Chains A and B, each alone.
Chain A
Amino acid sequence: MQRTPFYIKHLEAGAKMVDFAGWEMPIHYGSQLQEHHDVRTDAGMFDVSHMTILDLEGADAKPFLLKLLANNVDKLKESGKALYSCMLNEQGGVIDDLIVYYLTDTKYRIVVNAATREKDIAWMNEQLKPFNATLTFRSDLAMIAVQGPNARDKVLGMMPAHEVAIAEPLKHFYGAFINDWFIARTGYTGEDGFEMMFPATQAPKVWDALLAAGIKPIGLGARDTLRLEAGMNLYGLDMDETTSPLTSGLGWTIGWQPAERDFIGRKALEAEKAAGVQQRFVGLVLTGKGVLRSHMKVVCSQGEGETTSGTFSPTLKESIAFARIPAGTETECQVDIRGKLQSARIVKPNFVRFGKSVLDV
């Protein structure tokens, strides 16, 4: 089992550790619900060092990404700007979702998932062959996300003035280097905050400083309820190599323009669109009894679908889910929960933003 540079700090904080894709990670530090609320109302920190940081560098870095990614890196004009994208196979299935930070036309930083590391790097290196660029896995870096309405203030409060001058003006979805640190105003919770990458050797010291600043440790359990409320997909549950972004609520991440950009998977997506997309990706709010989970059968007027992720929403105090259901316009459905059909409302797959419900009442 692999461990991050924060492992000992998790134990000190009383974490219950679990196996996550071969990594020994904290699921919670006592109460997953309390941790969820801490992030929605104050500030929490997540060890995300298991995620994979890759640096791409070389004369062909940009043309390579224009080919590799479904979203269009040509949208990135300012140094530090981030872009969320899927990396597709030729069939239009999702190999992984990722964030790419534009540094210069010949240098990008890419963050991909932990569970997909080996296959992602193998795929990327295979596609990289005709291009003049190199991909470097930054196993020397640790990564921590600090999220919540007070997250930025607490982090900025720990920084010397010359660092605040760089971090404070960062707009949403921008990052910047501060010496050997990279700090970005990104996250996976629907709250404001930073994601920070820095030398792994500094990890314990950074953790202690964040704790001292009143930032609470948050486990993977709350990370999941936070991201689901925020309408953010989780790779492996909500989409995978057999599903297209068009049926995973990720159509907005496809860079269709310009039409001549021939990214991997484009032909398959165009064919799918031309034939008519058969399924839609929706949010569900349970009005019946129980808790929605992954892989529950959804019964709609036009046929059956399935939940992809489900949980109890600590913010809404209702059970919510993402589901892939037959294309249509109905606003109600039923979900098979342990053999009984329970009613649910069909909504946009987005529930909470900046601590507040975004559901139409």
Chain B
Amino acid sequence: MSNVLANLKYSESHEWLLDNGDGTVTVGITDHAQALLGDLVFVEVPEVGSTFAVGDECGVVESVKAASDLYAPVSGEVTEVNEALGDSPESVNADPYGAGWIFKVKLADKAQLASLMDAAAYQALLDSEA
């Protein structure tokens, strides 16, 4: 069973978002997404300072078997990226909601957070895909 955390928001493309309460969110991929991909061997993080609109490709996660695009779940400017993933992409598998975080975004529009799924809605999405 995939782990879904109650305090996070979720996108349909299986990113999670943590509201840091200071106008920024931390973004990663969900436990479900990392399990589907399998062992990650490469993560291409976006550049700090780059800006994305909702749905833009903003990075790549690659497992031994396949590459998968990362999509910006909200619009905004990238303020910080997890440089440690360069040496240890497996952190995304081991701890997708912690050490495996991928980047932080300064929200262009705080209202966008409300339009994302909460844990119950995301769990329902996973159940429907199962």
Chain A residues, Cβ within 8 Å of B42: 289-291, 312, 319
Chain B residues, Cβ within 8 Å of A338: 60, 67
Chain A residues, Cβ within 8 Å of B39: 31-33
Given A32-B38, A289-B42, CB of A221 within 8 Å of CB of B60: no
How many interface residues does B have (CB within 8 Å)? 11
Among residues of A, the one whose C-beta sits closest to the C-beta of B90 is A33
The answer, among A27, A289, A314, A319, for a CB contact under 8 Å with B65, is A27
Q: Restricting to A6-32, which residues have a CB under 8 Å from any CB of B? A: 27-28, 31-32
Q: Restricting to A284-341, which residues have a CB under 8 Å from any CB of B? A: 289-291, 293, 311-312, 314, 319, 338
In this complex, the member of A225, A290, A312, A314 whose beta carbon has the largest number of chain B beta carbons within 10 angstroms is: A312
Chain A residues, Cβ within 8 Å of B77: none
Among residues of B, the one whose C-beta sits closest to the C-beta of A318 is B41
Q: Restricting to B19-74, which residues have a CB under 8 Å from any CB of A? A: 38-39, 41-42, 44, 60, 62, 64-65, 67
* B70 vs chain A, min Cβ distance (A): 12
- The CA-CA distance from A225 to B60 in the complex, in Å, is 21
* A216 vs chain B, min Cβ distance (A): 16
Chain A residues, Cβ within 8 Å of B38: 28, 31-32, 221
In this complex, the member of A27, A290, A291, A293 whose beta carbon has the largest number of chain B beta carbons within 10 angstroms is: A291
* A339 vs chain B, min Cβ distance (A): 11
- The CA-CA distance from A28 to B64 in the complex, in Å, is 11
B64/A33 in contact, CB under 8 A: yes
Among residues of B, the one whose C-beta sits closest to the C-beta of A311 is B64
- The CA-CA distance from A289 to B64 in the complex, in Å, is 15
- The CA-CA distance from A221 to B65 in the complex, in Å, is 7
Given A32-B38, A32-B39, A221-B38, CB of A290 within 8 Å of CB of B64: no
Chain B residues, Cβ within 8 Å of A289: 42, 44
Chain A residues, Cβ within 8 Å of B44: 289-290
Chain A residues, Cβ within 8 Å of B60: 290, 338
In this complex, the member of B38, B64, B67 whose beta carbon has the largest number of chain A beta carbons within 10 angstroms is: B64
A293/B67 in contact, CB under 8 A: yes
A312/B64 in contact, CB under 8 A: yes
Q: Mark A209-235, 1 if CB is under 8 A from B, else 0.
A: 000000000000100010000000000
Q: Which 10 pairs show the lowest CB-CB distances between chains A and B?
A: A312-B41, A33-B39, A291-B62, A32-B64, A291-B42, A312-B64, A32-B39, A32-B38, A31-B39, A221-B65
Q: A residues within 8 Å of B by Cβ?
A: 27-28, 31-33, 221, 225, 289-291, 293, 311-312, 314, 319, 338
19 contacts between A and B (CB under 8 A): A31-B38, A31-B39, A32-B39, A33-B39, A33-B41, A33-B64, A225-B64, A289-B44, A290-B42, A290-B44, A290-B60, A291-B41, A291-B42, A311-B64, A312-B42, A314-B64, A319-B41, A319-B42, A338-B67
